[in-house]
Every structure is written in structure tokens, then in C-alpha cells.
Amino acid sequence: MCNWCISIAGFYRMLLVAGILMLSLCSKIIAQTVSETFQNPILPGFYPDPSICRVGDTYYMVNSSFEWYPGLPIHRSKDLVNWEKIGYGLHDPDQIAYRDGLDNSHGIFAPTIRYHEGTFYIITTMIGQGGNFIITSNNPSGPWSKPMWIKDAPGIDPSLFWDDDGRCYYTGTGAIDGTKGEWPGKSGIWMQEIDPDRGVLIGEKKQLTYGHASNARWAEGPHLYKIDGEYLLLIGEGGTGEFHAVTVFNSKELWGPYISNHANPVMTHRHLGKTHPIGQTGHADLVQTQNGDWWSVMLAKRHVDGFVTLARETFLAEVKMTNQETGITPVFNPGKGLLLTEQKRPNLPWTPVSEIPGRDEFDKQTLGLEWNFLRTPTYEWYSLEEGKIEIQLRPETVNELVNPSFIGQRARHHNYLASTKLSFQSRKRNEKAGLVIYRRHGNNYQLLKTSDKIVLIKSFQEGNKGDFEPQIVASVPFRGKEAVLGASVEGVKVQFLYGKNENDLKPIVQPQDYSLISDEVAKRFNGVYVGMYATSEGIESNNSAIFDWFEYEGK
């Protein structure tokens, strides 16, 4: 064989050896990244009231969204730990337009997602605009149907259950038998047959329970299951605050009687006090894996320095189905009985998903799924062009119950840095644009560029009632069209930053009190958003603000 041929053969042998070594190295890296445990919460940030279903080997989850649009965020997972947002149940103004005036923490309450014979169903409540409705889709990513509004369906937190004969049943919240008020916070769970494809209730309503004890408060969030031939009714109780809990009821027959399980509450942290790092657990849903194991998703809150700054988040817990004196009894995290920050992951193929991009360069034709609006935009007042987003200045402000020119994403960490590069100029004092941290119209921070200044504005509504006046916390002269604005959050402190470029940021004032947006101060049900904002404060304007990029980095 010629020397040239030998050289070529040797070269290919070296390539083959190198390839084998590379594959071996990659296999080791991949093996090292397969975690044996998982961290709670599985959906950090504002993701309350989770509901889950499984189709084959894939899991789908939906959460409440209240006044934020698009509504009903939907995630997908193969392993119950790694979740990818794939769409929204409410994604078109023709479905529901969240009107101006829709109050803080009104809008879309606790949904339930279920799958039956090729169709996905989401049933939920629109507080302030219409009541309970069902939407359907053959693809959980969307599009979803227009709502089927359900007549004569009082209360909140509806759910659907199909029995073995294919008939479907609606479970809802309320004391429908006239006994409401018998004790403070008395509510209950009722049931009625329903045609889920028309949204029509059939036959008579029946009260199933008022809660697990004679003075139980705020029974809500019902889900009905059939396990080993027995009916299991799972609900939330005690309100979504300190005394939240999960309770279950057993029945041999569909229509009851439903007997309070002797193990109740089967999951709660109410006895641990406010110093425990995870609290206010409740509003659970159950799912059985393709291997026959049971797991539960539920909401809970994490405390930092005595405050809840991320609102209600979605957690995961193992469940063991046992058969005790009362009947089928779910045991949550056997041997522990509490939600855990870290535990052994489900016995499912580890399936990581793409991380949420830290920096959005606005180089796509549409906004990413992380971005939301307050209420529904009645027209498109922003545009994406040439790697930038241009936002029109409009009269509406974040201090009103309207749809302002504000585009935000959820805060997902106790410590994070949010920043954006802004190109904006104006000679009018009413025109402003910049960065906003928002919890509600009366509780927010605004770091804005004006005609000749950078200003930090704080909004605080005492007791969430009555009038309030946004206050200028700090103001510094600033010339030039471009500015970088940032907010660095550490626990219950936030440092606001500004500069002409991202490598030269400086504080505008001393760190501010981030507990302004906490549950303890702002109260109610929604969560914290941070994002881009532009306003002309009550006066029509032709001006706009251009944002080159937005970055969110958890620390």
C-alpha cells in the first residue's frame, strides 16, 4: 500500500478514536447532569392553583393568571420536574377581553385541566366578567376554543370528572343549600352532571360536603377521582393564607355520602408557624404516572426575611395511596408529611427542557411566552423590528386599573437582577419610559427616564384601599437619548440602578423596601412582575420608547 494511502487510513483511524473518546466524554457529561433529586418549587414565581393531567407519557399543567393576559399558562413535562411553557388557554381577545376596570386579583381563578377521548378541557372562573366556563382544544399548545359559559353554576374553582360510563360531572364551590353563614367562612362542595362539550348542566345539584370539620372554613378547589373502585374527593380548605390545607373525603358511591377521612388534613403546614421556610400549602391536584405511581402538585409560599415576595408557587410531592379505616387515603411525602425543598425525583425518564433565556434581544417576530400584559390590549401598541421592541406612549398608567403600555414577566427568584436598555427622548414632562416592578396598581416601583431626568417613583396604597399618590423617591439629571436601567433585588431590599451603558451602572438612591410588593403588604392573589413601560400620563402622544434588550438574571 502506498504511503499516501497509509497516511489517509491513519488519519481516519485517529478521527474514529477521537470520535469514540468524544462520545464517551459526552455520555459522562450527560450522565452527570441526570439528577437523582429535584428542587421545589417546580414552577417558581407566580404560578398558583396548579392542575395537572397526563396523556400517555406526557404531563400538562395549567395555573391561575388573574388579571394578566394571555391567561391560563400551560406547561408540558415528561418527568414532572422539568417544565416547558407551551402556550395559553386564553390567547385571543375574541375569547375573552379583560376590560379596563377589572380589579387587582380578579380575572381568571383556579382552573382544572383534563383530557378525555382526544380532547383537552380547561374549566375555570372569570371573576368580574362572566363566571364559570369551559374551553377545549385538540392541542394543549393551542389554539383553544371560545368559552362555553355555564349557566346556573355559582361559586369558583370548578372541576370536571368522567366516570367509567363516560358521563361527566361538575364539582364546584359553595354552600348551595342555603346554609351559608352558619359559621364564619362556611362554604362547601357541590356536584351536578354536565355536558362538557356544550357547557350545559344536567339534572339536580347536590351538596357533597362543607369541609372536614363542623367549623371548616372556605372549602374550595375540588377534584374528584375514582381509585380502585372508590370515589375520592380532594379539596382545599382554610383559605389561601396561613391555615391553608388539603383534605379528602371518601365514598363508595358517586353521589355520596362523602365521609371526611380520619387522616385530615392530609397535607398542611398550618401547624409549623410563619417561621417555616415553606408555608400556606394547599389547592392540590393528583396525577398517576404511567408506572402507577402517584404525585401531587399544589401551591405553597416561600418566606424570605419574614415576607413572601414571590406569591404562590407550584410545588411537587410524592403521594402513596393507602387503604385505611376510612378508605383510600393519600399519604403525602411518606415519612415526612410536609413539602420538601429537595427530594428524590419521580421514576420517569429525565427530560430537561430549554431554560428561559436570560436576555431577550427581541430578534423574533413575536414576543416570547414569558411576556404578559395587564388586562387585554385592545390593539397592538408595540412592534418588534430590527432586534428592538418599540412601545407607544399612551395616556394609561400602571397606577390605574387599565391596560397600560407595560409588558412584564414574572419575578422567579428571591434575588435577581433585571435590566433593560432604553432609547427615548422627549421635551414633555408628562412623557416617561423605563423599568417597572409591579404587584398591583397601588404597589409598585417605577424607574423612568423623563425629558431631562431619571426618576424613581414609589406607589403605595395604604391597606389597599382608598386614594394614593405616587411619590418621587429620587431624581437625578440625565442627558442623552439612551439609558440602561436596572433593579437588583436581594431578599426584601431592591437597589435601583441607572447609567449610559450596562457596564457603568450606579445607584440612584439607597436600597428601597422590596416588601412593598410582598403578600403581607400588597395582599390578595396575584404575583410580582418586572418589565418595560411607557406612558404619556393622561395626554395623547405620538411618541414611543425603544427597548434594545431586556435581561432577567436570577442570583
Measure the CA–CA gap between 469 and 459, rounded to whole angstroms: 7
DSSP line for 128-148: TTTEEEEEEESSTTS--PPPE
Partnered with residue 546 across adjacent β-strands are 390, 423
DSSP E strand boundaries for 158-219 = 159-162, 168-173, 189-195, 200-209
Q: How far apart are CA 409 and CA 407, in angstroms?
A: 7
Three cell numbers, residue 151: 349557566
Q: State the amino acid at position 207 in one-letter form.
A: Q
- The Cα–Cα gap between 287 and 294 comes to 6
What does the DSSP 8-state code read for residue 464? G
Distance CA 192, CA 195 (A): 10
d(CA 542, CA 455): 22
Cell of residue 248, nine digits: 379528602
C-alpha cell at 182: 352558619
Instruction: Tell me if residue 220 is catalytic.
Output: yes
Which three-class secondary structure state does DSSP give residue 4? helix
The residue annotated as part of the active site, out of 67, 79, 157, 220, is 220
Is residue 512 within 8 Å of 445, Cβ to Cβ? yes
Q: Indicate the SS3 state at residue 320.
A: strand
Give residue 89's identity as a one-letter amino acid code. Answer: G
Is 363 a known active-site residue? no
Distance CA 73, CA 84 (A): 10
Residues involved in catalysis: 49, 220
